[in-house]
Structure 1
Amino acid sequence: MPLAPRTKKPLPSVAAEYLDSAPEELRVGIALSGGGIRSAAFNLGALQALEERGILHKAEHLAAVSGGNYIASALAISAAHTDPEFENGKPLWGRGSPEERYLRQHTDYLAPGHVGKLWMAASVVYGFVVNYLPFALCMVIAGRLGGWLLALLGLRLSDLRLNGLHLPESAVVQALLGCGALFLLVVLLLVSWRRQVKDGDPGNYGDSRAEGYAARLLIGAGVVLVVLTLPVLAELYGDASTAALSWLFDESPETFQTTTGRIMIALVWLVVSLLLAAAALVLSRRLRARRLMLVLSSLAGAGLLLVPLLSSLEHATREGIDSPADALGLSAYVVIVLGMAVFVHNRRYSMHLFYRERLNSAFALRRTKDEKERIVAEPIDYPEKLYFTDCEAANGSRTPNLVVCCAVNLTTDDVPVGRFAESFTFETKRSGGPLFGYYPTRDLEQRGGLPGTHLTLPSIMAVSGAALSPLMGRFTYPPLRFLMALTNVRLGVWIKNPLHRTWQPDGEDDETAPRRGWLVRAARSIRAGWLEPGALYVLREALGGAKSSHRYIYLTDGGHWENLGVVELLRRRCTHVLCFDASCDQAGDGLDIGRAIALARSELSVDIELDPRPVLPDAEGMSTQMAVLGVVSYPPPNDVQPAQLVYAKAVLTSAATWDLHAFKARDGRFPNHSTSQQMFTDEQFEAYRTLGHEAGKQAADLLEIPAHLLRRAPVAGGNGHGELQAKPT
């Protein structure tokens, strides 16, 4: 049974936001921040230092986000799939381990070599085509139907223009103008009725029928405006296309009337739209160019939809229905759209699938022996599904309880204003969040789902690192959101909503169940495919329509809610927290730790006294320290005192080893390489790993834990997560 989720009613107490019971003495938690391969290298070094100090395997929880989770999940996978006899004195993922050596040779895992880069490019193009095709076809269908209707009415596009300040001669335009004016008049009457008649009893905001009717009528007036604008745009499209054909290809104006000419110029306009889209995506990484980015993304998104619509509308209005072949062609478009709705679902063509395959190849490793009897690390074959829940039984207590931090995106008032996201975590036993409740992880893995929908640990790794998606929590920008959804710039994933009325635990297929007829199986398969997220959910991403009431919910990078994983450790009442921050912070503002402190206060009523200024870089990019110690105060009656927070950051100090200063001299971006740079050289990887190792040592020195408290003791009636308890001395 799930824990009680948050509802729209006020919570009975802040204790409802906590998960584990308060420990009697000690509960250590480690938090690894996001940041792609940069964070993976830094946090690898930090974990190696903590393992050498004897802290890693004494920790209760390991909360990880994005790049930090690459290493955290890799540790869990290796521990679950490696025979202890192969450790041979070298801990899993320790310094000089086979796993570290393997990763060094595959830090270009996203696109290794020329073949890998070409394959990634082909995957991007394939994803765009499959994602964009149903929208383009729907625009063509709408344009054809609208154009044929106008042709049957004997109207030309020029007939539908507004005639200045005079009433247009076209009865169609007159009717549309009349409807729009009527809609607006009724809206004003509804507002007047609400203010004048219902002034004494206005009711709750948004609950009255008047508000709902007014909203619908305003939408209707907007539709009328669009319908009046489209014919003008279609005529302008024809004139501009004719001129472009003459200028680009030296063709006569009559060429636009041919099928080849229409297709050729449509492709030209689509290429222009894609170039604007690429420019907008590049500028999205530059804060100073935010306004230009929003303008370019709006133009690109509009172009990708309007080009097929206007081309089809202009041609159909001018030519009408020439032959039965036109109707057959339109029917073929409809069949293709319906077929894609059933057989082509979002998780099979989004970049998530490519992303998790590549993560699996670099981080899902097991130790074995090669032909020379040497102990080596090798990747686990991708077809071998690595389910999170299977890791626990094989892993035992060799590693801390892994908490994979993701974000569930919501554009409704289920979350505080401006946040647009809520925490959603995965563990071996339970998964969920404060809004949706917590469920057995096995129920969410969808082992019996359609191919490509299984939620394996590499898939969860990819979700936790889905930094680039149309919906990105507080980082979402509506015009860019629309463009990214339309062009398949998407790493996030839709998963089944456990709060939906149709949700039920999804287990493996029961081989003992009686086999049904092929017709029943086919019908069920078609229904399952129809319900899978497809173009409709892409449209919801584009329009920001992610709700907690939908059949599927949208998960992305945990950094879209909180990029350090600290809040989730505090939610589990950790008494000693080690936080390693490898986020890109060129300005030295310490934004992520600031957000974590604010979220801990607003979500859990936890106060954190921490001064991060000694670890923040100065004007020359140097810091005084790599780690600082803070105090955590839990609210009564949940006091867990004393509680400590050690915050360590990927910064360079004067005491750093000379090789790091030398690397900084050669590469001024260190230690703040952009997160978009996901392919490192060995030199870059080693610089960040060494930096993390030094941060781990300094953080361990600051953690005030008596040695006798770092002993494990069995817990009677524990919560099943292997809680740390101190043995009496």
Structure 2
Amino acid sequence: MPLAPRTTHDLPSLAEEYADSPPQDIRIGIALSGGGIRSAAFNLGALQALQQQGVLQSAEYLAAVSGGNYVASALTISAAHTDPDCENGKPPWGRGSPEERYLRQHTDYLAPGRAGKLWMAASVVYGFVLNYLPFVLCAMIIGRVAGWLLHLLGVRLADLRLNGLALPKSSLLTVLLIAASVCVGLAILLVAYRRWFKDGHPGNYGESHAERMASLLLTGAAAVGVCLLLPPLAEVYATSSTSLLSTFVDERPESFQTAGGRIVIAIVWLLVSCVLAVIALMLGRRFRALRLMLVLSSISSAGLLLVPLLSSLEYSTRHGLHTAGDAVGLVLAVVIVLAMAVKVHNRRYSMHLFYRERLNSAFALKRRRDGNRIVAEPIGYEEKLYFSELSPKGNRRMPKLVVCCAVNLTTDDVPVGRFAESFTFESHRSGGPLFKYHATERFEGRAGLAGTQLTLPSIMAVSGAALSPLMGRFTYPPLRFLMALTNVRLGVWIKNPRHRNWQSTASDDTERPGIGARLWNSIRDGWHEPGALYVLREALGGAKSTHRYIYLTDGGHWENLGLVELLRRRCTHVLCFDATCDQTGDGLDIGRAIALARSELSADVDLDPRPVMPDSDGLSQSMAVAGSVRYPMPDQEAKLVYAKAVLTAGSSWDLQAFKRRDRRFPNHSTSQQMFTDEQFEAYRTLGYEAGKKALELLNIPEPLLRPSTAEDLFERDGVGHLR
């Protein structure tokens, strides 16, 4: 009998994969790649070249990822907050504009000066403490309760050792072994039952009662195995710790058997685990040290969780519950965990908050008059720059901004090995093929808890969240657990539009008048916010499309150029600017984009990027190449120009000279997020030259570049926003 068809996920039709209908005339799209401040500088130069030729103003879409989106979002914000009478012949973010000059003075925006670096360090420690505290307290609670029960039963840790091939001396250990054996045996019987009696009606894989029950039984057996390992590990921890520390500290081993001594030992081992964690994270991007990173990350992760658990288990088993202070300490720990579950959630201590504050200070700019001068200054962080409300002032014509992010999933909602799906933000709608498109203002959470509002600087930070436990196809499991546990994350959890409670809004005090109602609403809303449970899901790779919240990170975790999103909108003329770090000249990002366009949209990209790839001398034949795209249904062809941050023999001499001084140019690491003015100008000039070369290849006749009036653009936008 044939297998039952899968009905869990409905596959979209080809038309649904596209986010816009075929155009009646020309539709220009501009794609800006990711790459941090390196990409921001390069793409700023490219946009300035397009701006001078009128192509930027004529474009329909501006799709941007990570560092490219720094500039794209900055352009959108400044156009909405700068009065036309302050332009003085220089449009927002134009060449030599006040915005460009301000950014040159703040390319160290992440940690400016001594105070900025100390503030960043304090923010890291603050986030780590709030992220780790629930886990260390839960480990301590479990260890204490388990130890008190063993002490009450008169069982020592030594009694729980295996007795070779003979039966264990402890009846408790015998019971645990029998329970594990029964679980494994029942799971095997369920497989036999399935094969003998249900082979003709298997149903969907993993969804039958037999499969679910077998999974639970084997999980229970694994849990028993962990329980059997903990007692001997606790003994080893106690004896080795006291012996080791007594050799370095002038104290007898017995002095470490007290409660204070145990705390000192635990602190020492936690500090060692933190040091190993830092080393592992530093080695994470060094592919030659992956094995060492694997070992160090495993040891540090185990240390951060096992040290409080083993210490509490060993001490409580020996002493039991012998003072009222022990009980009070346990109750206090439980209260703290419950309070944090309600009031301390991930969206308020994640490094995302620090990241978006710093981006706001450097890229969210407006102009003002200072005497006879026109200067740029950052818009106050307290002013909520909601994307859905931003539209250009005056008669400015701006392309529609498409902020490219990635939603991380570990289920079969996405193809095997991809672990991510596209998720984009636009001023009027946001979403993607899997989650559909919804009004952007519904994602912004204006009535939500403080610190959770999703403004354009927040979306900018999400699009550039390259460092997170979940990173799409770039997720590395050994580091995933460690990064989640230590709060090394720039991504953010947002409400899931596919969840059944998506329609619900924030609490309204009028629902239940009085202090009690407000307290209840606060507890309810706080409990639902992503906290330690979601951190654990990150650590274990358990991000599903059915959870209340979904996890968004850098758009480069799905596609790092923004090209596919322009093709999804059926652009007829596409300019793609690639500022990714490509020291070997392999062209991996454009290769991934071409493959994704084919698999996602059935669009065939005909492009040979080899002329822009550097040779052994680090020079390329050209900065840009032209190709074509063929869309299906209806059959339509588009022109594609791909420009890359490379040097050619014809590059200006200042770039050639800078290359001689700094061999890393034009491939500085993305992890280097603080540039000098010389570095910034080198990449901006490189982008400007790439923009001019790309325009030559695109070769759009000038009459087609004349933008429509603002009124015409307003009429063509079906949702009432200026394009």
Distance 1:104 1:572 in 2: 34
TM-superposed deviation, 1:287? 1.5
Which residue of structure 1 lines up, in the alignment, with residue 242 of structure 2? 242
- What is aligned with 2:606? 609
What is the correspondence of 1:420-459 to structure 2 with a 5 Å cutoff?
420-459=419-458
Could you tell me how far apart the structure 2 residues matched to 1:29 and 1:387 are?
Answer: 23
Matches within 5 A, 1:595-634: 595-634=592-631
Q: Which amino acid aligns with 1:398?
A: R
Quote the offset at 1:247 in angstroms: 2.1
CA contact (8 A) 2:397 2:707 kept: no
Task: Name the residue aligned to 2:667.
Answer: 672
Who is 1:16 aligned against? 16
Q: Which runs of 4+ in 1 moved over 6 A?
A: 721-724
Question: 2:642 and 2:705 mapped to 1: Cα distance?
Answer: 20
| 8 Å contact kept, 1:624–1:653 | yes
In 1, the alpha carbon distance for the partners of 2:220 and 2:462 equals 38
User: Could you list the per-position Cα deviations for residues 285-316 of structure 1 after superposition, in whole angstroms to 9, with x for gaps in the alignment?
Assistant: 11222222122211111110000000010100
Between the aligned partners of 1:178 and 1:670, the Cα distance in structure 2 is 64
Aligned counterparts, 1:10-409, within 5 A: 10-11=10-11, 13-370=13-370, 372-392=371-391, 394=393, 397-409=396-408
Q: Which residue of 1 aligns with 2:527?
A: 530
Structure 2 SS opposite 1:431: strand
CA apart distance, 1:718 = 4.6
**Contact 2:581–2:670 (CA under 8 A) maintained in structure 1:** yes
Structure 1 letter corresponding to 2:142? A
Q: Please, which moves more after superposition, 195-204 or 161-170?
A: 195-204
Cα contact 2:491–2:551 (8 A) shared by 1: yes
CA contact (8 A) 1:470 1:541 kept: yes
The SS at the match of 2:632 is: coil
**For residues 382 and 299 of structure 1, do their structure 2 counterparts lie closer, same or farther at Cα, with a shift above 3 Å needed?**
same
Write the distance in 2 (CA, Å) between the matches of 1:646 and 1:686: 24
1: CA distance between counterparts of 2:334 and 2:508? 36
Q: Structure 1 residue 244: deviation in Å?
A: 1.9
Q: For 2:391 and 2:444, locate their aligned partners in 1 and report how far apart those are by CA, in whole Å.
A: 15
Distance 1:632 1:505 in 2: 42
> Cα offset for 1:719?
3.3
Q: Tell whether the 8 Å contact from 1:497 to 1:503 is kept in structure 2 after alignment.
A: yes
Deviation, 1:373, is 3.0
Matched letter for residue 640 of structure 1 = Q
CA contact (8 A) 1:36 1:678 kept: yes
User: Which one-letter code corresponds to 2:438 in the other structure?
Assistant: Y
1:663 is aligned to 658
Change in Cα spacing, 1:587 to 1:395, as seen in structure 2 (3 Å) is farther
2:684 matched residue in structure 1: 689
- 2:528 partner amino acid: L
The letter of the residue matching 2:419 is F
Give the 3 Å change call, closer, same or farther, for CA 393–624 of structure 1 in structure 2. closer
In structure 1, give the amino acid aligned to 2:636.
Answer: V
Instruction: Please tell me the residue identity of whatever aligns with 2:562.
Output: G
Q: Secondary structure of the equivalent of 1:392?
A: coil
Give the Cα–Cα distance (whole angstroms) in 2 for the partners of residues 395 and 20 of structure 1. Answer: 27
Counterpart Cα distance in 1 of 2:388 and 2:250: 64
Residues in 1 aligned to 2:16 and 2:566: alpha-carbon distance in whole angstroms: 15
Pairwise CA RMSD: 1.7
Cα pair distance change 1:408/1:514, threshold 3 Å? closer
Amino acid paired to 1:703: L
Using the alignment, how far apart are the partners of 1:17 and 1:396 within structure 2?
33
Alpha-carbon shift at residue 470 of structure 1 (Å) = 0.5
Q: What is the distance in 2 between the residues matched to 1:364 and 1:587?
A: 35
Q: Give the letter for the 2:627 counterpart.
A: G
CA distance in 2, matches of 1:663, 1:329: 62
Q: Which amino acid aligns with 2:601?
A: L
- The CA distance in 2 between the partners of 1:458 and 1:53, in whole Å, is 28
Compare 396-405 and 52-61 and name the one that shifted more. 396-405
Shift in Å, 1:261: 1.7
Asked if 2 retains the 8 angstrom alpha-carbon contact of 1:65 and 1:558, the reply is yes
Q: Which runs of 5+ in 2 are unaligned?
A: 1-5
User: Within the alignment, does 1:640 sit opposite 2:639 as a pair?
Assistant: no
C-alpha separation between the residues in 2 aligned to 1:7 and 1:292?
A: 44
Aligned residues of 1:365 and 1:379 also touching (Cα < 8 A): yes
Q: 1:341 to 1:600 in 2, by over 3 A?
A: same
Counterparts of 2:401 and 2:620, CA distance in 1: 31
* Percent identical: 71
Post-superposition CA distance 1:401-458 (Å, at most 9, x none): 0000000011111111111110000000000111011001011100000000000000
Asked whether the 8 Å contact 2:57–2:707 carries over to 1, the reply is no
Q: Hey, what's the Cα distance between the residues in 2 that align with 1:100 and 1:620? A: 32
Following the alignment from structure 1 to structure 2, what is the Cα–Cα distance between the partners of residues 366 and 339?
A: 41
Paired amino acid for 2:216: R
Which amino acid in 2 is paired with 1:357?
E
**What is the TM-score when the length of structure 2 is the normalising length?**
0.96
Q: Do the aligned partners of residues 488 and 316 (structure 1) sit closer, same or farther apart at CA in structure 2, a change above 3 Å counting? A: same
1:474 aligns with 2:477: no
Instruction: Pick closer, same or farther for the CA change 1:274–1:562 going to 2, 3 Å.
Output: same
SS of 1:378's equivalent in the other structure is: strand
Give the superposition deviation at 1:10.
4.8
State the one-letter code of the partner of 1:696: G
Decide whether the 8 Å contact of 2:40 with 2:67 is kept in 1.
yes
Partner Cα separation in structure 2 for residue 722 and residue 275 of structure 1:
51
**How far did 1:394 drift?**
4.6
Give me the whole-angstrom Cα distance separating, in 1, the residues matched to 2:504 and 2:212.
Answer: 36
Structure 1 residues 453 and 395, CA gap change in structure 2 (3 angstroms) = farther
Corresponding residue for residue 727 of structure 1 = none
Higher mean C-alpha displacement, 133-142 vs 17-26: 17-26
**Cα distance, 1:616–1:173 mapped onto 2, change above 3 Å:** same
Does the CA-based 8 Å contact 2:84-2:394 persist in structure 1?
no
Contact 1:297/1:480 (<8 A) preserved? yes
Q: Which residue of 2 aligns with 1:712?
A: 707
Shift of 1:12: 5.7
How many Å apart are 1:339 and its aligned residue?
0.6
Aligned partners of 2:83 and 2:393 also within 8 Å: no
CA contact (8 A) 1:443 1:505 kept: no
Question: Relative to 1, partners in 2 of residues 1:395 and 1:355: Cα closer, same or farther, differing over 3 Å?
Answer: farther
Once the two structures are superposed, residues 345-368 of structure 1 have per-residue CA deviations (whole angstroms, 9 ceiling, x without a partner) of 111111000000000000000000
Q: Tell me which residue corresponds to 2:411.
A: 412
2:165 counterpart letter in structure 1:
L
Check whether the contact 2:428–2:721 (CA below 8 A) recurs between aligned residues: no
For residues 445-524 of structure 1, the aligned pairs below 5 Å read 445-504=444-503, 506=505, 516-524=513-521
Gaps of 5+ in 1: 1-5, 725-729
d(CA) in 1 for partners of 2:61, 2:504: 26
CA contact (8 A) 1:79 1:395 kept: no
Q: Counterpart of 1:692 in 2: which secondary structure?
A: helix
**Alpha-carbon distance in structure 1 between the residues aligned to 2:211 and 2:395:** 57
Name the CA shift for 1:723/1:391 in 2 (closer, same or farther; >3 Å). Answer: closer
Following the alignment from structure 1 to structure 2, what is the Cα–Cα distance between the partners of residues 395 and 295?
59
Is the 1:397–1:722 contact (alpha carbons within 8 Å) kept by the matching residues of 2?
no
2:563 aligned residue (563, 566, 586): 566
Aligned equivalents of 1:684, 1:472: Cα separation in 2: 28
Within the candidate set 543, 547, 571, 1:546 is matched to: 543
Worse-matched range after superposition: 136-145 or 711-720 = 711-720
Scaled by the length of structure 1, the TM-score of the pair is 0.96
C-alpha distance 7-573 of structure 1, shift in aligned 2 (>3 A): farther
Letter in 1 for 2:578: D
1:157 and 1:666 map into 2 onto residues whose CA distance is: 64
